[in-house]
Chains A and B, each alone.
Chain A
Amino acid sequence: MDKRISPAEAVAQISDGMTVGIGGWGPRRKPMALVREILRSDLKDLTIVAYGGADVGMLCASGKVKKVIFAFVSLDFIPLEPYFRQARQAGAIEVMEIDEGMMLLGLRAAAWGLPFIPTEVGLGTDILTHNPDIKVIDSPYDDKEWVAMPALNLDVALIHADRADARGVCQIEGPDHYLDDWIARAARKTIVSCEEVVDTSYFQDPARARQVFWERSITDAVVEIPGGAHPTSCNPQYGFDVPHFKAYTGTAKDGGFAAYTEQFLGASEAEYQERVGGLDAIRNIALPTY
């Protein structure tokens, strides 16, 4: 079985109005090359589910988004994502603002085929006031009320990994796989971009096999895009691109997103990488210190 496809073929599998889950966390290991391919497409009216960063900001700024399901959208060292902020303050998108852990439970419910998972998270807060679709229920086992966190069923998951084989065994080599396993499992179709496609024998080493967080039957497509997380990090391959994020944030004040895409996006990933200094430059970006 060979699940390898091109970035264009990957994005062709997404349709208007779909719910798309995006892996990574803030400025960390986002499938940005796939996001850029969406920016180049005619897709619209997407619902995005993410521990969000510039992926969410860019998709909002380019008018691809109808709704965002989020707990935060942040670039970390720049706490507020500039284009998400603009979209929110313009009232341009629908939102479902939830807690980080509620998002995890919603993804788990979807992964496990459950309509909801009960939790106390969200009680007493405006999460419930503003999201009438999130119900509070009585328990058959105690006298408390519980939030019934609904399943966050995804049509498509987009994830960036370090390595994958052609059959969809995916390795996340960095220190954290974040919630990517649940995003992959919550989706009807999971598309994984990776730094490198490797031979299956790569995973014979048990230390590498332990860096695989979902079985290959969950992965529907593999797209080899070295540097494909830029400008987010892909630890240990490279860090996030601080000057690039500053330039990106700068365009929100001056020039707008059109100025950003004009300068950087290009007609293909090869063109994008040329414009940001090339693949070697991406791979030389130092890892951040916290």
Chain B
Amino acid sequence: MTAATDYTLAELCIVAAAEAFRDDGEKLATGIGVVPRLAASLAMKTFNPDLMMTDSEAFMLSEPNPLGKRPDDFVQANESWMGFSRIFDNVWSRKRHAMLGPTQIDRFGQSNTSALGGSYQQPKVMMLGARGFPGNSISHRNSFFVPAHNTRVFIDGECDYVSSIGYNPARLPKGHSLDDVDIHRVITDLCVMDFGGPDHQLRILSLHPGVSADQVRENTGFELCIPEGIPVTPAPTEEQLQIIAGLDPHNQRAYQIKDNPPGVR
């Protein structure tokens, strides 16, 4: 396991995000977007082979698919049918961990994929809609990937539209506990975080090489927990980089973070 010296920030984020799936055991890992999907795939191919994954369409795979166009003779490793209706059965069984990138995240870990500004009747910017976020957030573990850590994503105040439940006492449903919510990891281009600070405060777990805690603070729109002695996010190993390259033969990962910077800044 040789630590690499030459790697991109995207590759560092993929490896850091893969760690989020390490202790999941036998769960459906759903990575939405290039970095989360590669992260889940890397985890499944290395330290957590028990993970389950789909082909983003209708089948479960025993082996993750590489991204993008595949050779004509490629045969994907189907293990079962998993159409969209069955996904809900899986979600509500709680045996799933989804990772995706919302447009806004607030201090409660509430997130927004729906709309920005204006009103419900007339939003200023209509986005995707709530999609499956409300159900995901109350049913199973979730993680976030944010390719550009700034105060427009980590906003001051509450999300314009709360698409997913977070650690907000004011919105806690009767009979539920804030501990029912499981936002596991937040991976950004600056650091890795969780909501393990006091009263579920956002907390820095590791800083990417060359990034300071002040930089994270300045780019976060609310107060976060900055513990003593924060470690540096571990570099990918050469073996991990090789596996990532095999999973992403068209190098889609080079387009996920602006200007595709190197991992060590």
Q: Which residues of A contact B (CB under 8 A)?
A: 25, 51, 70-74, 79-80, 84-85, 88-91, 94-95, 97-102, 104, 120-127, 129-130, 136, 138, 142-145, 174-179, 181-182, 289-290
B56's contact among A80, A84, A290, by CB below 8 Å, is which?
Answer: A290
User: Which residues on A sit within 8 Å (CB–CB) of B164?
Assistant: 125
User: Which residues on B sit within 8 Å (CB–CB) of A123?
Assistant: 134, 138, 165, 173, 176
Contact yes or no, B175 A145, CB < 8 A: yes
Bound-state CA distance A182–B69 (Å) is: 33
Is B1 positioned at the interface, with any CB of A under 8 Å from its CB? no
Shortest distance from the beta carbon of A36 to any chain B beta carbon, whole Å: 24
Residue interface bits B109-135, CB-to-A below 8 A is 1, else 0: 010001100111111111111111111
Contact yes or no, A71 B129, CB < 8 A: yes
A124's contact among B56, B128, B162, by CB below 8 Å, is which?
Answer: B162
User: Which residues on A sit within 8 Å (CB–CB) of B171?
Assistant: 124-125
Is B168 positioned at the interface, with any CB of A under 8 Å from its CB? yes
Contact yes or no, A143 B174, CB < 8 A: yes
User: Which residues on A sit within 8 Å (CB–CB) of B59?
Assistant: 175
- Given the contacts A88-B122, A290-B57, A121 and B138 also touching, CB distance less than 8 Å: yes
Is B224 positioned at the interface, with any CB of A under 8 Å from its CB? no
User: Which residues on B sit within 8 Å (CB–CB) of A182?
Assistant: 85
A102's contact among B115, B134, B139, B165, by CB below 8 Å, is which?
Answer: B134
B130's contact among A97, A142, A177, A290, by CB below 8 Å, is which?
Answer: A97
Contact yes or no, A289 B69, CB < 8 A: yes
Contact yes or no, B134 A144, CB < 8 A: no
Contact yes or no, B138 A179, CB < 8 A: no
Can you add 11 more A-B contacts, CB < 8 Å, to A89-B118, A124-B173? A71-B132, A85-B126, A89-B125, A91-B119, A102-B135, A122-B135, A124-B137, A125-B171, A129-B162, A136-B173, A145-B173
